[in-house]
Amino acid sequence: MLKEKRDYGASLEYWYKKFQLLTDRERSVTILASQGLLNQEISERLNISTRTVHTHRLNSYKKLDVHSTSDLAPIAALYRSRKITL
């Protein structure tokens, strides 16, 4: 059975609350991923290993219940509006 397509832009407040469930490192990785950076680029910016980025990214995707970078559009919108920061 196919999952229903979600309306990720419906409630930025919902996404803000979900974002607060992440650790500080998961937040940093998620924001950078939402901007389209690759794991290697994120690891260089945060001075951590690519494997560590991968682990944080997987954990944050599970907590946010997303499956791809494109699903992070609401997080990117919150970052652009300065409602969340690195």
The CA distance from 5 to 83, in Å, is 25
Q: What is the pLDDT of residues 6-40, one digit of tens each?
A: 554 558 889 989 999 999 999 999 999 999 999 99
Give me the chain's average pLDDT, please.
88
Helix ranges (H only) for the chain are 12-19, 24-34, 39-46, 50-64, 73-80
Write down the domain spans for the chain.
22-80
pLDDT of 5 reads: 46
Nearest CA among 83, 69, 75 for reference residue 41 = 69
Do 60 and 22 contact (CB within 8 A), yes or no? yes
User: Tokens representing 16?
Assistant: 């803000």
Q: Which residue has the tokens 């494997």?
A: 51
Q: Which fold has domain 22-80?
A: Arc Repressor Mutant, subunit A (1.10.10)
